[in-house]
Amino acid sequence: MDFNPKDLNSITLFEMDEGNWLDIGKIKNNTNAKFQITIEGDFLIVQANDKVMDVPTYQTWLNYARKYLGYTVDSEYDVFNIVDDGWIYEIDLKKFPLIEGNNHRLLMYERR
């Protein structure tokens, strides 16, 4: 899922298909959507509204941490806190501030 934290009206969903990301389009960012992103105070909150999901990966943060903070593929990337396992996760933006720029990507996987 791609999103712009300065404009959370819509998010763009992608689906992995045999190693390729397929753009499945923009959706409204609300409680009727498959996923929802909100920023409340100092927290970025990701919520599943349809199916249970694994803890998301904040791809933009991973890339930034590897490039500028010396993180490696073996580093711990526990940026999400569990609020409601499978449904709601949050990032403390004081500890992990949003990266400058408009494009942010979260990887989210439904539990099977």
Q: What is the pLDDT of residues 3-53, one digit of tens each?
A: 999 999 999 988 888 888 889 889 999 888 888 999 999 999 999 998 999
pLDDT class for 103, splitting at 50, 70, 90?
Answer: confident
Is there a contact between 12 and 23 (Cβ–Cβ < 8 Å)? Answer: yes
Phi, psi at residue 19, to the nearest 5°? 85, 0
Model confidence, pTM: 0.86
CB 72 within 8 A of CB 63: no
Burial of residue 73 (CB within 10 Å: 0-12, 13-18, 19+) is: exposed
